[in-house]
Structure 1
C-alpha cells in the first residue's frame, strides 16, 4: 500500500469518526465505468467504488469510530447508509457521476456533507450524505477529506461555496 493510500485511509478514518449518519437502492453510473458504491468490511468498514469489471477502488470513506453506536449508528450502519445515499444520488443524476458534486453546509442547524448536481446548489434535507458533529466546520472537513487526504482532488469554489467533482474523485481512487 502506498504512503498516499495510507494517509488517505488514516485521514478518512479520522473524518469518518466525526460522523453520525443517515438509505436507498444501488444504481449504475456510466462515467468511470462505475457499477456502484459498496460498503465492505476488511479491518474496518469502508465505502468503495466498484467498476463494472469488478475492480474495487481505494476506500473513499473509512468508518472506524464507535462513538455513535449508542445512538444507533455503529460503523456498519453508517457505512451502509451513506453508501446507499451515494448510489441514490447517482440514480437521481441519470445513473452517472458526471455533473455530481459533494459540498458542505448546514441542515437543521447541523453541519453536513451532501451531494448536488450543479455548483450553484446547496445542502438541504433531501441531499444529505452524512451529518458531522456540531463542532465541526463542514467546509473544513470537505476540504481536508477530499484535497489534503492525498487525492489531489481540486476543490472548486462557486459563490464562496466549496464543491468536489465526484467523478474526478472516484477516478483518482482507482
Structure 2
C-alpha cells in the first residue's frame, strides 16, 4: 500500500519458510515504462517470475547492478565478480538512474536502516548476498497481493 496515495502497489516479495512470512523486495510504482506497455503490474509479474526462475535454478546468490545494451539494469548472479548481461538481467532501471542507488535502497529495507551493511564489492560492482538479505529483512503483510516469489 502506498502510504502517500493509499493506492495498492504490486509487490515482488519472497516467502521465507523459516520466518513464516514474506520479505519485501520491490514495490512497483513507477509508470516510467508505461509507454512501452510495461505497466507497474506487468513489470511486477515479469520480474517476480524472473526472481523465481533464477532462485529455483540456484542462479540468485547475489543481486548486482550494471549495464546491458547501454541501459542500467539490476541482475541476479551466482558468483562475486560476475557482470550483468542479457541472461542474468532481472529488470531495467530508468535511464539516467543509478542502479547502485537502488541496491542501497534495497539494503535499507533489509537493514531497517541499521546494522552492518550486507553489501559486498568486487572492483566497482556492488553485490547483495540474497540469503543474508532474506534472513535479515523484516516480514511484511501482503494480504491481497498476487505477485509473490515462493
2:26 counterpart (61, 68, 77): 61
Q: Secondary structure at the match of 2:87?
A: coil
Q: Determine if the alignment matches structure 1 residue 157 to structure 2 residue 117.
A: no
Q: Relative to structure 1, is the Cα distance of residues 169 and 62 closer, same or farther in structure 2, using a 3 angstrom cutoff?
A: same
Q: Is the 8 A contact 1:48 1:56 kept in 2?
A: no
Q: In structure 2, what is the Cα distance between the partners aligned to 1:54 and 1:101?
A: 20
What residue number does 1:18 align with? none
Q: In structure 2, what is the Cα distance between the partners aligned to 1:156 and 1:132?
A: 21
Q: In structure 1, what is the Cα distance between the partners aligned to 2:65 and 2:16?
A: 26
Q: Secondary structure at the match of 2:12?
A: strand
Q: CA deviation at 1:150?
A: 5.7
Q: CA deviation at 1:171?
A: 1.4
TM value normalised by structure 1:
0.66
Which residues of 2 match residues 29-48 of structure 1 at below 5 A? 43-48=8-13
Q: Determine if the alignment matches structure 1 residue 81 to structure 2 residue 46.
A: yes
What residue number does 1:17 align with? none
Unaligned runs of 5+ in 2: 140-150
Unaligned runs of 5+ in 1: 1-5, 11-41
Q: Relative to structure 1, is the Cα distance of residues 137 and 65 closer, same or farther in structure 2, using a 3 angstrom cutoff?
A: closer
Give RMSD over aligned pairs.
Answer: 2.6
Q: CA deviation at 1:93?
A: 1.2
Q: Map Cα deviations across residues 29-54 of structure 1 (whole Å, 9 max, x no partner).
A: xxxxxxxxxxxxx8211111113489
Q: Relative to structure 1, is the Cα distance of residues 74 and 170 closer, same or farther in structure 2, using a 3 angstrom cutoff?
A: same
Which residues of 2 match residues 7-26 of structure 1 at below 5 A? none
TM value normalised by structure 2:
0.76
Higher relative contact order (CA 8 A, sep 6+): 2
Q: Relative to structure 1, is the Cα distance of residues 102 and 48 closer, same or farther in structure 2, using a 3 angstrom cutoff?
A: same
Q: Secondary structure at the match of 1:60?
A: strand
Q: Map Cα deviations across residues 62-84 of structure 1 (whole Å, 9 max, x no partner).
A: 01123322311111111111111
Q: How many residues align?
A: 131
